[in-house]
Structure 1
Amino acid sequence: MKRIELILAKLREIKDLFPNGISALEIAEELNLSRANVSNDLNKLVSDGKAIKIKGKPTLFIAIDEENVTSNLSVINKFSEANPSLYSAVEQAKAAILYPPNGMNILLLGETGVGKSTFAGLIYKYAIEMNVKSKDSPFITFNCADYANNPQLLLGQLFGVRKGSYTGADFDKVGLLEKANGGILFLDEVHRLPAEGQEMFFTFMDRGVYRRLGETESERSANVLIITATTEDPNTTLLKTFTRRIPMVITIPSLKNRGMEERFNLIKQFMIEESGRLGKSIKVSVNSIKAFLSYNCENNVGQLRSDIQLACAKAYADFLSNRKDVIKINSIDLPLYIREGLYKEIEHRQLWNKLIDINKRYLIFDKDEDREIFEEGTNDSNIYEMLDLRTNELKAKGIKGEHLEEEIEKDIEDYFKKYINDFSTKVDMTNIKNIVEKDVMDIIEEIILFCEEELGIKLDKKISYGLAVHISNSIDRIRRNKKIVNPKLSSIREENKKEFSVALDALKMIERSIDISMPIDEAGFIAMFLSYNYRNVRYIQNDVKIIIIAHGISTATSMAEAVNSLLGTENTAGINAPIEEKPENILEKTIEYIREQKIKSDILFLVDMGSLTTFGKEVENISNIKTRTIPLVSTLHALEATRKSMMGYSLDEIYRETLDVNSLYDDNVADIDYKENEKDKRLAIVTVCTTGEGGAKTIKGILERNLTFDKNVIEIVPINFIGKENVYERIEKLRNKYEIICFVGPFELDVNSPQFSLDDIIDGDCAKDIQNLIDAEETYIKMEETLERDLKNVDGIMVLKSIKKFNRTVTEELKVNIKINILIGITLHMACVIDRYKEGKITLEFEGKKDYIKNNFNLYKIVKNACAPINTKYSISVSDDEICYLMTFFDSNNI
Structure 2
Amino acid sequence: YNSINRIRCGRKIVNPQLNNVRKKHPEEFKTAIKSLQIINEKFAVEMPIDEAGFLAVFFSMDFIGGNTKVQVIVIAHGTSTATSMAETANRLLGIGSAAYGIDASLDESPQSVFKRLKGHLERRPAKAGLLLLIDMGSLMNFAPAVQKELGINTKAIPLVSTLHVIEAARKASLGYSLEYIYNQTLSIRDITAEEFHSTPSKSRLARMFIISICTTGEGSAALIKNILDSQLNYHGSMCETIALKLTDIESINERLNTISKIGRIICIISSFNVDFPAAHYSLSEIIEGGSLTQIQKTVDSECTLESIGNTFSTMLKNADGEKLLSAVRGTVGCIETGSGLTLALDVKIGLFCHMGCMVDRLLSNSGINEFPDRENYIKDKSDLLNVIRESCAILERSFNILIPEDEICYISTFFTYENCVH
TM-score scaled by structure 1? Answer: 0.23
> In terms of Rg, which structure is larger?
1
Q: Which has the higher contact order (CA 8 A, sep 6+)?
A: 2
